[in-house]
Amino acid sequence: MSMKKYFRTRSDNGLRLRNSPFDGDTLEILPDDTKLTAVDEQTWVKVITPSGKVGYVLKDYLEPYKPRITPEKVVPFLLDNGIIQYRPRNDCITSEQPIRIHKDFEKSLLIMEEEAKNHELKLLVTSSLRSPLSPVGNAIVKPASVSNHHVGHAVDVNFMYKTICYGSRAFKGSTQIPDNITQFICAVCKQGLRWGGHFGTPDYVHFDDKLNINDPEQYQRKLKQLHG
């Protein structure tokens, strides 16, 4: 697997992000010091912006930088009690942080990964196992008090289709959601997963295996094992 490369823009007048190299249409003007992740690096660099937009910029106006990654608090008990770090089988699932889940949820993630491949999607995992006491930054939907995230049986994902990233705001707004995404959701739900878009208060990025509903006693046991 190739190492990611990161750049920041260096242009007092802003740098054009184009949808293709050379004379492509302008997607937006990136201000100076915009942090970018390189997807492909030549004279024109294919990049992902902080908002998830994909396009091309001239390499002459970039300089390398090392992103500051906040160290995760690794709690010792996560090494026991069935918690694993999920390692994707292909490039259809990515994440900036380790994907920590319960081993019993691994089958569900494998289903999501396979269906993402079948529907030409990439899934950007933004949340997996978390403590009931941990605040959720930038949450669009208020987190549930009885959440499958607390026992490693859920993930939140943004969808990447072609060059566009679809998250909660896309589903809630007037954005046309591609058929590939809706077909993916139907496919994984038919195989036992639950999509948060079907909740009373929709949570469009959420997927779990309904452990807290199908087996509440097991949910409570795992919750106690992990968090006391």
Q: Are 199 and 119 found together in one domain?
A: yes
Query: What's the domain count of the chain?
Result: 2
- Cα-Cα-Cα-Cα torsion 132, 160, 51, 71, nearest 10 degrees, comes to 40
Q: Are 87 and 116 found together in one domain?
A: yes
Residue 71 inside a domain? The answer is no
Q: Are 203 and 109 found together in one domain?
A: yes
> What is the pLDDT of the chain when averaged over all its residues?
84
* pLDDT above 90 (res 182): yes
* pLDDT above 60 (res 193): yes
Q: Are 31 and 135 found together in one domain?
A: no
* Residues whose CB falls within 8 Å of the CB of residue 132, separated by 6 or more in sequence, listed in order: 145, 147, 150, 223, 227
Q: Are 90 and 39 found together in one domain?
A: no
Q: Are 112 and 153 found together in one domain?
A: yes
Q: Are 109 and 200 found together in one domain?
A: yes
Residue 190 inside a domain? The answer is yes
Q: Are 98 and 197 found together in one domain?
A: yes
Q: Are 150 and 130 found together in one domain?
A: yes
* Entry pTM: 0.66
Q: Which domain holds residue 43?
A: 5-64
Q: Are 95 and 194 found together in one domain?
A: yes
pLDDT recorded at residue 55: 83
CATH number for the domain spanning 120: value is 3.30.1380
Q: Are 93 and 192 found together in one domain?
A: yes
Residue pair 199/171 in contact by the 8 Å Cβ criterion:
no
Q: Are 45 and 119 found together in one domain?
A: no
pLDDT recorded at residue 67: 67
User: Tens digit of pLDDT for each residue in 26-66?
Assistant: 888 888 888 888 777 777 888 887 766 788 888 888 888 77
